[in-house]
Structure 1
Amino acid sequence: MKLTDKIHLLRIDFEISLSPEKKIPRFVNVVLIFGDKITLVDTGVKGSEKVIFDYIKEQNRDFSEIGTILLSHAHPDHIGSAARIKELSGCKVCSHELERDWIENIDLQNTERPVPGFYHLVDTPVSVDCFISDGQSMAVDEAITIRFIQSSGHSKGSLNLFFVEDKILFTADSIPLKNDIPNYDNYSELMRSLAKIKRNTEFETLLTSWTPPMFEQDSIHKILQEGEEYMRHINSVVEECYKSDDAGTLNNCRKAVEKLGLPPFLVVPVVDRAFKSHTH
């Protein structure tokens, strides 16, 4: 989807494998910037390079023109094809320094945050060539300046990207979707990041990793409000269900998932990890 002449949004569909029989359909957005060189924001899951390269070809460009990958954070559906794209194009990879360990050591990420079907989503780490800090600006092409905003909570070093001239804000996974998978590192930090997005009056278009682009202020306000209310609801449920130590089981997680009305297959360590962040 063309947002401007140079900034495009590409949806990549994939599945999370809970078991050989049970798969969850998901999708993730990748941003492509067509300047003198091509810049990618995130890379989808393992194997997404084919979809990305085909789209680049449709724009009468070539994947060899990719100069930079900007990773919003380290999770598998964002870094999955980064290593392959870097290998084929020779581009550089940039991220926040707090995301480096999980990008360069996916086994460590899988140990600390065991997403179901992890190695179906990413199977190769990638080295980070440059680090991006909060408030830093980067001119990726003529009249395309990106200002980076650290938005911790979903992950330690999550980055939001503000396209200054076009007034577009890409929040990656910083905005929780109502009734979606509880999937974050730190509840309190995520709430602070949500508040920061709500206070931002500079952007006119909102892009996330999980939704179509939003151009209307009413739609933008609604998704932010619903995300905040959902998180507060989860917090009240966790306070009720995590009163005692479950001794390494997922019993408290099971109670919380049931009370939230979420499907039972979400009783998994990564959701339990998110819930436990409310108690710290």
Structure 2
Amino acid sequence: MKLHTLSGYIQFIYLIEDEQGLLLLDGCSRADVKRVCSFIKYELKRSITDLKLIVVTHMHPDHAGGAHKLRATTGAKIAAHPNTRNWYAGMSGRTAHVIDVMLTWWVAGRLGKPKRKVWYPPLLQPDILLNDRDALPDYPAFQVVYTPGHTNHDISILHMPTQQMYVADLVVRVKGELMPPYPLCHPNQYKQSLAKVAALNVTTLYCAHVPPLANPSAVLTTMLKKAPTFPKNHWYSFKGRVLGKLRSKR
């Protein structure tokens, strides 16, 4: 089994290769679809239909944006937590979806990347639903760990033989400093997720926006100290700005 790390539009892409096929540890962004398919065809010298399973850790554009297009192109199945299906539902959900797409472009601009196509369907249609402690279909060495906080449906993927873990956005980097993610919709759940991962005694954390972390215990302890008490998301940020302006006028 081999782990291939690709540089995506705004995140790292992790592709697992073995004899039976290929496993993509997250759904990438819509802008990454050609990159993934080209890597499979020209670097690995394999058919794109060898991609068998796409895990979506949560619904943000750089984690779910390429899933439907990759499935249509390769025939792979999509696996995700049940709550992914409703994350962008309703008027407030559609608004959040638009904001998240715009934030993707903003991050890309900060990285010096041009604006690319990242729009994707806001409602995921997974083939397989994953719950806490489930083994990935056809990949029994990989176990699902439910790690909400960033959203209500985040999952991480633990490779049990090596105790290495892909945690997506559990840890990010802001101005060179490791930080909890934004948005952080459920701070109490986030703290519980940190404690849950710490209890697993993981050897290495693989993140979507940070190079592999070889000292997980110290990192998780630091994130626990930095975790906010109240939610940090689009609505709370907007409300905070409005209230701040109203107070300044008094």
| TM-score under structure 1 length normalisation | 0.69
Q: CA deviation at 1:96?
A: 0.5
Aligned partners of 1:81 and 1:61: how far apart in 2? 20
Q: CA deviation at 1:127?
A: 1.7
Structure 1 residues 77-86 or 111-120, which shifts more?
111-120
**Structure 2 counterpart of 1:195, which letter?**
A
* 1:88 counterpart residue number: 73
RMSD: 3.2
Q: CA deviation at 1:148?
A: 0.7
- 1:174/1:180 Cα in 2 relative to 1: closer, same or farther (>3 Å)? closer
- 1:107/1:163 Cα in 2 relative to 1: closer, same or farther (>3 Å)? farther
**Does the 8 Å contact 1:176/1:227 carry over to 2?**
no
* 2:241 counterpart residue number: 250
* 2:157 counterpart residue number: 161
- What does 1:82-231 align with in structure 2 at a 5 Å threshold? 82-102=67-87, 109-112=93-96, 114-115=99-100, 117=102, 120-125=117-122, 126-138=124-136, 140-141=138-139, 145-177=141-173, 178=178, 182-201=182-201, 203-215=202-214, 217=215, 220-231=216-227
Aligned partners of 1:48 and 1:100: how far apart in 2? 22
- 1:250/1:66 Cα in 2 relative to 1: closer, same or farther (>3 Å)? same
Q: Please, which runs of 5 or more residues in structure 2 have no aligned partner?
A: 105-116
Q: Please, which runs of 5 or more residues in structure 1 have no aligned partner?
A: 14-26, 239-244, 256-280
**Structure 1 counterpart of 2:145, which letter?**
I
**Structure 2 counterpart of 1:30, which letter?**
I
* 1:33 counterpart residue number: 16
Aligned partners of 2:63 and 2:150: how far apart in 1? 13
* Structure 1 residues 104-123: Cα deviation after superposition (integer angstroms, max 9, x where no partner): x6976332453251695332
Aligned partners of 2:54 and 2:207: how far apart in 1? 17
Q: CA deviation at 1:159?
A: 0.5
Q: CA deviation at 1:101?
A: 2.1
- 1:181/1:130 Cα in 2 relative to 1: closer, same or farther (>3 Å)? closer
**Does the 8 Å contact 1:175/1:194 carry over to 2?**
no
Q: How many residues align?
A: 223
- 1:107/1:11 Cα in 2 relative to 1: closer, same or farther (>3 Å)? farther
